[in-house]
Structure 1
């Protein structure tokens, strides 16, 4: 009987999923294959970082679409993880006029679908930006509905939750959607099917048991629907207003707005390096400070659109420096540049950027994890990364679920 879970990590970046899972239980989560490829860049900094830290796995630096089905069939995947881009998931009937469908070229979710089809892992854990629930703007909820219908057709139950990392003991206010899909033939799935979906969402589900929420639905925001059976119909016509939490079973959707129970954020000051360690290059010059006064200040600017229409672009003011007593704001890939979104902190009367090490700490990576690359790319990779503390918590829940699966299999073997 297997003593660990075979993990495959897609769109791996610098290894956020793997760092979190190995924090949860390095012996249980055995990542055997990973893929990281940045098509628009000659230098593959994220892959080089991943490959250095994780030499025990087969690490692929190629277009995932070129990796053969047999590769995934042979891996015997238990858990598939990945943070994939938010793209246009619209689909169309195949040119042969048969019942097959085809999605837009280059959309990486279809690679996830392909891999699941040929390997059928027990569990799938994915991460994305929270706007996925509302895209596209002209047909709200369509893209997420296509994803849910895809999982339905592949034989999975799906739970999702938009999580603000700061609500669960981290120093960054980073909101991301996490999607957990599990094979409906599992004993865990059968236990869930015997529960009310409201109980799954508020108490007993994957996310509710990992990240506790209040038992009252926020402002009674609760919706239910049933997905059309034809995914083409979903692509062409279906829209739906999803809330931050939800579950899909056999195409039936129940979605609610949950609130974190007893949030306990970590203030920014707790992840800072000692000032004696800070290189002078991270402090702001007077000229740069003046630029930030403008960038962070309120403004109204007349602009002209492509068709010649004049309009006023307005932007509200924000604090000239980030509070050290609050969690940091969401890091973007532009962190560390002269950009309105960059964190600016003031220590002993001097203003500076966060250092790459401090950005790694905001995401729960070990210090100097990304020291394999230059500072600009270190900031970029942390702006793209997920908060590994959350994955650690989810990994522990997956461990509990799989322990019960293993126990059930052992009991069946004994009975036989």
Structure 2
């Protein structure tokens, strides 16, 4: 059984690599049958070019997803994507047709539109975002995630989520992201989740728990309901709350939320920054010139100084020091989009080698996200752009492990369902 996949906001194909190529690319359980990548702020569609170079242009779309009709997207079993973190609030009520819609240009509502309009809805969703989604916006902590969960509930999905730091499971980068799986009410997995003890699902039985084991103090569980429609949630959810009610682990089914805080449980081999470095293959332009070292040291160092705004206003500025150079015996810090280029930076990675201090190469950045070497190498794509891709990408190994657990969950649920009918 192959799961048919549509990949939205595809970037350079991290989800596809994780599902189709991890761990055995010769016999994948998933098949991407349609993909979309569109970068609205640039004329040259660099990420889409890389995607097509690696996976082919057939069934790949390089158009604004908001302009694509749902009928143009083939029916599929699993919808995946890492969509931008935006303001998900509901803007208005339409009187004549579609009910509630979100703010124009917010890509979550494009996903919502596709799910709403598809007669044969995808059975499963596998989505990724930055972990601050659970806490935004600052004046209504958790509201955006509540709107998302309620909108999926209205469409007939149950959702489980977890914030995963890849390094806590032996992967080479400290990259923290929220991953969530949704099951449509027509699936056996949905029915299995509904019948389950919710804490057991999150700690043992669920898809993410099987991929990434956890431990917890179960006394910190929180249960609440998402009451009202999307407009009322937008206006009232956690209006006076200082903290988000959503913990790093949880699930939502039939409008009821069960959430708790978990910690990673991992005893396996760990990959560190030193393990992924290229040896003897790095060109001179990645090394930091001696005359530039003071600037790097200043930017990386602790500061307590008076600064002046453009308008002439003086203020006290302070910040702590960064590890400089980066430790080779630990997982790396999170890759940022600005890793490329020679200019000194507080946040770029710098490593110490026999030949001196240097920045990370595009291949090393790919390795930190568990991409194949030179996945983003293509004529006309600069090293700076390749670094940008990796700053936006996800850790392929996380997708691979969740994908494998989801495939097993689907199979087990079907067997379980058959045995009870």
TM superposition score category, shorter chain reference: over 0.9
Query: Which residue matches 1:249?
Result: 253
CA distance in 2, matches of 1:211, 1:152: 25
Q: 1:341-360 counterparts in 2 under 5 A? A: 341-348=347-354, 350-360=356-366
- C-alpha distance 394-114 of structure 1, shift in aligned 2 (>3 A): same
The range that moved more, 185-194 or 322-331, is: 185-194
Query: Which residue matches 1:9?
Result: 7
Structure 2 unaligned segments of length 5 or more: list them. 239-243
Offset of residue 339 of structure 1: 1.5
CA distance in 2, matches of 1:288, 1:61: 41
Report the 3-state secondary structure (helix = DSSP H, G, I; strand = E; otherwise coil) of the residue aligned with 2:214: coil
CA distance in 1, matches of 2:312, 2:160: 46
Is the contact between residue 7 and residue 78 of structure 1 (CA under 8 Å) also seen in structure 2? yes
Query: Which residue matches 2:154?
Result: 153
Which residue, 317, 320, 324 being the options, matches 1:316? Answer: 320
Report the 3-state secondary structure (helix = DSSP H, G, I; strand = E; otherwise coil) of the residue aligned with 2:80: strand
Offset of residue 184 of structure 1: 2.2
CA distance in 2, matches of 1:309, 1:94: 45
Deviations 1:329-386 (A, max 9, x none): 0000011342111110001161001110000001111100000111010000000000
Deviations 1:145-179 (A, max 9, x none): 00000110000110010000001121100000001
CA distance in 1, matches of 2:113, 2:354: 54
Q: 1:70-219 counterparts in 2 under 5 A? A: 70-72=71-73, 75-94=74-93, 96=95, 100-119=99-118, 120-217=121-218
CA distance in 2, matches of 1:308, 1:393: 53
Structure 1 unaligned segments of length 5 or more: list them. none
Q: 1:302-313 counterparts in 2 under 5 A? A: 302-303=306-307, 310-313=314-317
Query: Which residue matches 2:272?
Result: 267
- C-alpha distance 236-303 of structure 1, shift in aligned 2 (>3 A): farther
Offset of residue 241 of structure 1: 2.2
Is the contact between residue 159 and residue 182 of structure 2 (CA under 8 Å) also seen in structure 1? yes
Report the 3-state secondary structure (helix = DSSP H, G, I; strand = E; otherwise coil) of the residue aligned with 1:396: helix
Deviations 1:113-152 (A, max 9, x none): 1111233101100000000000001110000000000110
Is the contact between residue 32 and residue 57 of structure 1 (CA under 8 Å) also seen in structure 2? no
CA distance in 2, matches of 1:279, 1:308: 43
Offset of residue 102 of structure 1: 2.1
Query: Which residue matches 2:333?
Result: 329
Report the 3-state secondary structure (helix = DSSP H, G, I; strand = E; otherwise coil) of the residue aligned with 1:136: coil
Which residue, 334, 338, 346 being the options, matches 1:340? Answer: 346
CA distance in 2, matches of 1:271, 1:141: 37
Offset of residue 236 of structure 1: 0.6
Report the 3-state secondary structure (helix = DSSP H, G, I; strand = E; otherwise coil) of the residue aligned with 2:257: strand
CA distance in 1, matches of 2:384, 2:184: 41
Deviations 1:48-90 (A, max 9, x none): 0001111164111111011012113xx1210000000000011
Report the 3-state secondary structure (helix = DSSP H, G, I; strand = E; otherwise coil) of the residue aligned with 1:330: coil
Is the contact between residue 163 and residue 176 of structure 2 (CA under 8 Å) also seen in structure 1? yes
Query: Which residue matches 2:400?
Result: 392
TM-score by length of 1: 0.92
Offset of residue 185 of structure 1: 2.6
Offset of residue 221 of structure 1: 3.5
Deviations 1:254-302 (A, max 9, x none): 111100013553111111111x111111111113222110001111233
Report the 3-state secondary structure (helix = DSSP H, G, I; strand = E; otherwise coil) of the residue aligned with 2:263: coil
Offset of residue 326 of structure 1: 0.3
CA distance in 1, matches of 2:363, 2:163: 26
The range that moved more, 237-246 or 387-396, is: 237-246
The range that moved more, 20-29 or 352-361, is: 20-29
Q: Please report the RMSD computed on the Cα atoms of aligned residues, expressed in angstroms.
A: 2.1
CA distance in 2, matches of 1:351, 1:230: 56
Query: Which residue matches 2:376?
Result: 370
Report the 3-state secondary structure (helix = DSSP H, G, I; strand = E; otherwise coil) of the residue aligned with 1:139: coil
